């Protein structure tokens, strides 16, 4: 259990812009920061951070909250894990107790598997440093390949001895479940032995540094087994959405505004040892859209580094169109024949490597044209294939200006008229447009178009007013019903001074108004309780005490600059004035509008009884309708309107 003082200290010291800046590239936007959403595949940034309010809001997904909420959403951390993550980042001491067997059982599946991976990583590290096998065989192997002790520690490389069940026995002795070990690919489901025996082991981490899987290389090439084996996909590990080395490289990727992509684990480690830190690996698999989108949050520039063998070339070609379609810039750098990034960099210094990368990185047009130049035949058919291939890649680029620039470059490089290339591009784009129109027509069918919910909007407005102005004391213009000497009712204006939260509570309570939306109902009660218990109200402190779904609602209210603009409400017999009006007018008119709306709804329901079934219609019903019309008349006078 984390103490309240520790939690308060974490919230006090942590900065939301610093924490989120470790995961996505942020750019200053006035007093706020903006970036691409880490939750959707948007092309235009709609993710906003307010340093002053210490909150974030993702307008593309609707998510939002404080710094803890971000870590819980993005990294799938529990609340205590998020607090510990921040405490670790800001060097805040947290008292931790050992996890008992009973506590392990209570952890949810994801948390449980995360704990196992962390446990396994520590065991593998211990093996390489403490066992004879680790020191004499595994570590010597790495040193012979030119990796120093510091880089081994930085990437937390470990190993397993040639004993077949050392990890299994140790894990089970520490209370871990065999089925969980099997699901993570640590133990074989067939013989129940360690899968990574006699291998160097590379922990695979998320962008926040949590270990979710492993890659392992065999130490004896003569052994008849796969050279590399990787963790299978699991509840916590999806290889199509993980990049090896990203945790170690993310800061430099943002700083250099470029990400180098290599194939293997040792390629990443070698470049880091040589001082080039903006590099990640797709872990030997083909690059995926999920991996590209992770990089896109940090930079829009990718440089692919591959050896010149056919497998490397084919992998590069397949990736180019995917990168372009995501609105990113891609360059390619191929190493000399027989070399890969690891072997090439081994005997070079940082300057030599950087010079090679800068001088040999070419864009996708040059790369594809180079295939034609390298061809022995260089025939008209081959040229036509290359040109069509390049135009096809250009068609994937969302930016039309970039398309035109690349078309002109292709024209000059391959001596093809721009007209011809533009016609070919137009044909490809026309196919895309037809497909897009079909999709949009299907998407915009009536069944998928949500109807505006007037009550929802007004209830949210009231929540918004409470959060922004609830503790302010203002003067409200009221109209009282007064009977004169003859018994006739007249309306007398008066001014009443009151706190905003009191005004809202009393007005809604007088009509016994209940919020229709369940989340608004809960949040409304919590807000009223907060105002009644405390003299001061701090939205940030209040938000930190809420569950995640309510915290997101409060975030939406705080961070959105514009209060609701309710379109075409006059035609619906509803008026709500904008933010430029005084608080008293905003409060009064919002409440009265909601009450009027509910009265209209009630009158319609009662009137329907007169039409549907005369048996249900009686004198009491008629009187009720009359009473509602009288109340509606009063509310309309208060709204300064005519029915």
Q: Which CATH number do you get for residue 210?
A: 3.90.980.10
In the 8-state DSSP scheme, what is residue 64?
E
Measured CA to CA, the distance from residue 297 to residue 290 in angstroms comes to 11
Lowest mean pLDDT across 58-67, 270-279, 346-355, 567-576: 567-576
**498 and 634 part of one domain:** yes
Q: How many other CB atoms sit within 10 Å of the CB of residue 91?
A: 7
pLDDT for the residue numbered 119: 96
- Burial string for 509-524 (b: 16+ CB within 10 Å, else e) reads eeeeeebebebbebbb
Contact 531, 467 (CB under 8 A): no
- Which of 237, 265, 290 is where one domain is finished? 237
Nearest CA among 185, 113, 127, 115 for reference residue 156? 127
Order of strands, sheet of 55-58, starting from the edge strand that comes earlier in the sequence: 27-29, 32-35, 47-50, 55-58, 64-65
**251 and 344 part of one domain:** yes
Burial of 178 (0-12, 13-18, 19+ CB in 10 A): middle
- Nearby residues of 146 by Cβ (< 8 Å), 6 or more positions away: 270, 273, 346
- The strand pairing partners of 330, in sequence order, are 302
**267 and 406 part of one domain:** yes
pLDDT for the residue numbered 17: 92
pLDDT for the residue numbered 125: 96
In the 8-state DSSP scheme, what is residue 135?
I
Lowest mean pLDDT across 12-21, 307-316, 366-375: 307-316
- Which H or E run includes 621? helix 619-638
Measured CA to CA, the distance from residue 171 to residue 116 in angstroms comes to 8
pLDDT for the residue numbered 93: 87
Q: Look up the domain containing 385 and give its range.
A: 246-440
pLDDT band at 548 (very low <50, low <70, confident <90, very high): confident
Domain count, the chain: 4
pLDDT for the residue numbered 394: 92
- pLDDT above 70 as % of the chain: 77
**494 and 374 part of one domain:** no
The first and second tokens of residue 491, run together, are: 């309306």
Residue predicted with more confidence, 232 or 52: 232
- Which of 211, 237, 263 is where one domain is finished? 237
Residue predicted with more confidence, 108 or 331: 331
- How confident is the model over 27-55, as a mean pLDDT? 85
Total count of residues recorded for the chain: 643
Q: What is the dihedral of CA 610, 612, 616, 618, to 10 degrees?
A: 10
The first and second tokens of residue 575, run together, are: 């008026």
Most confident of 9-18, 195-204, 379-388: 195-204
Measured CA to CA, the distance from residue 383 to residue 406 in angstroms comes to 17
Measured CA to CA, the distance from residue 503 to residue 487 in angstroms comes to 29
- Which H or E run includes 296? helix 289-296
Nearest CA among 587, 393, 395 for reference residue 498? 587
Q: Does residue 415 come out as left (phi exceeding 0), alpha (psi in the -120 to 50 range) or beta?
A: left
- Which H or E run includes 385? helix 380-395
Measured CA to CA, the distance from residue 639 to residue 643 in angstroms comes to 10
Rg (CA), the chain: 32
Helix, strand or coil, per DSSP, at residue 619:
helix
According to the 3-state scheme, what is the secondary structure of 566-595?
A: CCCCHHHCCCCCCCCCCHHHHHHHHHHHHH
In-domain check, residue 360? yes
φ, ψ (nearest 5 deg) of residue 398? -70, -30
- The strand pairing partners of 51, in sequence order, are none
- Between the alpha carbon of residue 225 and those of residues 34, 60, 138, 164, the distances in Å are 48, 46, 17, 15
In-domain check, residue 202? yes
Mean pLDDT rounded to a whole number for the chain: 81
Contact 201, 215 (CB under 8 A): yes
Contact 265, 151 (CB under 8 A): no
In-domain check, residue 402? yes
Helix, strand or coil, per DSSP, at residue 66:
coil
**309 and 379 part of one domain:** yes
- How confident is the model over 462-485, as a mean pLDDT? 78
DSSP characters over 489-506: EEEEEEEEEEEHHHHHHH
Contact 521, 504 (CB under 8 A): no
In-domain check, residue 448? no
In-domain check, residue 610? yes
Burial of 472 (0-12, 13-18, 19+ CB in 10 A): middle
Measured CA to CA, the distance from residue 633 to residue 639 in angstroms comes to 10
pLDDT band at 101 (very low <50, low <70, confident <90, very high): low
In-domain check, residue 321? yes
pLDDT digits (tens, 9 = 90+) for 585-611: 888 788 777 777 776 776 666 666 665
In the 8-state DSSP scheme, what is residue 194?
B
Is a pLDDT exceeding 50 seen at residue 443? no
**31 and 160 part of one domain:** no
- How confident is the model over 163-173, as a mean pLDDT? 94
**394 and 478 part of one domain:** no
pLDDT for the residue numbered 562: 39
φ, ψ (nearest 5 deg) of residue 501? -65, -35
Measured CA to CA, the distance from residue 102 to residue 94 in angstroms comes to 22
pLDDT for the residue numbered 196: 94
DSSP characters over 384-429: HHHHHHHHHHHHT-S-HHHHHHHHHHHHHHHT--HHHHHHHHHHHH
**434 and 458 part of one domain:** no
pLDDT band at 571 (very low <50, low <70, confident <90, very high): very low
pLDDT for the residue numbered 642: 32
**372 and 492 part of one domain:** no
Measured CA to CA, the distance from residue 166 to residue 158 in angstroms comes to 14
pLDDT band at 565 (very low <50, low <70, confident <90, very high): very low
- Which of 388, 415, 440 is where one domain is finished? 440
Residue predicted with more confidence, 392 or 224: 392
- How confident is the model over 217-237, as a mean pLDDT? 84
φ, ψ (nearest 5 deg) of residue 575? -130, 130
Contact 565, 605 (CB under 8 A): no
pLDDT for the residue numbered 1: 65
pLDDT for the residue numbered 447: 38
Measured CA to CA, the distance from residue 1 to residue 83 in angstroms comes to 11
pLDDT band at 452 (very low <50, low <70, confident <90, very high): very low
**408 and 475 part of one domain:** no
pLDDT digits (tens, 9 = 90+) for 487-526: 665 666 777 788 888 888 877 776 566 787 888 888 888 8
In-domain check, residue 505? yes
Is a pLDDT exceeding 60 seen at residue 433? no
**281 and 419 part of one domain:** yes
Contact 545, 522 (CB under 8 A): no
**430 and 302 part of one domain:** yes
pLDDT for the residue numbered 354: 95
CATH code (residue 351): 3.40.1360.10
pLDDT for the residue numbered 111: 83
Nearest CA among 496, 480, 555 for reference residue 62? 555
In-domain check, residue 13? yes
Lowest mean pLDDT across 116-130, 328-342, 425-439, 545-559: 425-439
- The strand pairing partners of 496, in sequence order, are 476
- Which H or E run includes 254? helix 246-256
């Amino acid at each position: 259990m984390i103490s309240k003082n520790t939690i308060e200290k974490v919230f006090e010291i942590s900065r939301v812009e610093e924490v989120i800046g470790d995961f996505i590239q942020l750019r200053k936007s006035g007093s706020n920061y903006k970036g691409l959403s880490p939750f959707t595949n948007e092309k235009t940034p709609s993710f906003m951070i307010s340093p002053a309010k210490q909150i974030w809001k993702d307008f593309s997904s609707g998510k939002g909250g404080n710094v803890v909420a971000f870590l819980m959403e993005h990294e799938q951390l529990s609340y205590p894990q998020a607090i510990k993550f921040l405490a670790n980042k800001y060097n805040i001491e947290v008292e931790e107790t050992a996890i008992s067997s009973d506590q392990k059982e209570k952890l949810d599946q994801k948390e449980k598997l995360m704990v196992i991976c962390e446990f396994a990583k520590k065991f593998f590290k211990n093996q390489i440093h403490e066992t004879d096998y680790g020191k004499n065989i595994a570590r010597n192997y790495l040193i012979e390949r030119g990796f120093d002790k510091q880089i081994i520690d930085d990437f937390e490389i470990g190993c397993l001895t040639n004993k077949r069940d050392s990890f299994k026995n140790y894990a089970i002795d520490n209370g871990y479940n065999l089925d969980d070990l099997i699901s993570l690919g640590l133990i074989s489901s067939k013989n129940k032995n360690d899968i990574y025996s006699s291998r160097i082991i590379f922990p695979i981490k998320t962008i926040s540094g949590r270990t979710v899987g492993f890659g392992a290389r065999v130490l004896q090439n003569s052994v008849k087994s796969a050279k590399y084996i990787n963790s299978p996909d699991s509840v916590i590990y999806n290889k199509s959405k993980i990049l090896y080395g990203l945790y170690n490289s993310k800061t430099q990727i943002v700083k250099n505004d470029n990400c180098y992509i290599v194939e293997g684990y040792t390629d990443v480690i070698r470049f880091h040892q040589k001082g080039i830190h903006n590099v990640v690996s797709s872990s030997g698999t083909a690059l995926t859209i999920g991996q590209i989108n992770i990089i896109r949050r940090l930079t829009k520039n990718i440089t692919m580094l591959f050896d010149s063998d056919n497998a490397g070339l084919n992998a590069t070609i397949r990736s180019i169109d995917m990168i372009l379609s995501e609105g990113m810039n891609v360059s390619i750098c191929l190493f000399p024949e027989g070399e890969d990034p690891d072997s090439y960099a081994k005997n070079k210094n940082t300057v030599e490597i950087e010079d090679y990368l800068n001088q040999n990185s070419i864009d996708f047009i040059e790369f594809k044209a180079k295939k034609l130049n390298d061809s022995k035949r260089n025939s008209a058919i081959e040229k036509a294939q290359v040109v069509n291939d390049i135009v096809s890649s250009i068609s994937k680029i969302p930016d039309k200006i970039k398309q035109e620039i690349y078309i002109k470059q292709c024209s000059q490089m391959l001596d093809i008229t721009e007209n011809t290339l533009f016609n070919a591009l137009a044909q490809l784009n026309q196919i895309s447009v037809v497909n897009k129109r079909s999709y949009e027509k299907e998407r915009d069918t009536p069944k998928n178009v949500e109807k505006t919910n007037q009550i929802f909007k007004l209830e949210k407005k009231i929540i918004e007013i409470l959060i922004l102005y609830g503790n302010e004391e203002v003067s409200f213009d009221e109209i009282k019903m007064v009977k004169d000497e003859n018994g006739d009712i007249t309306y007398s204006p008066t001014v009443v001074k009151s706190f905003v939260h009191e005004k809202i509570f009393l007005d809604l309570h007088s009509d016994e108004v209940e919020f229709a939306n369940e989340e608004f109902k809960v949040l409304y009660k919590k807000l009223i309780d907060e105002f009644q218990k405390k003299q001061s109200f701090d939205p940030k402190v209040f938000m930190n005490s809420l569950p995640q779904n309510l915290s997101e609602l409060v975030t939406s209210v705080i961070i959105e600059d514009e209060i609701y603009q309710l379109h075409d409400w006059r035609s619906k017999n509803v008026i709500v004035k904008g933010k430029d009006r005084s608080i008293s007018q905003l409060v009064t008119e919002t409440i009265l509008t909601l009450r009027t709306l509910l009265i209209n709804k009630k009158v319609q329901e009662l009137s329907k009884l007169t039409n549907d079934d005369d048996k249900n219609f009686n004198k009491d019903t008629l009187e009720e309708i009359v009473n509602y019309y009288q109340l509606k008349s009063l509310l309309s006078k208060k709204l300064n309107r005519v029915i």
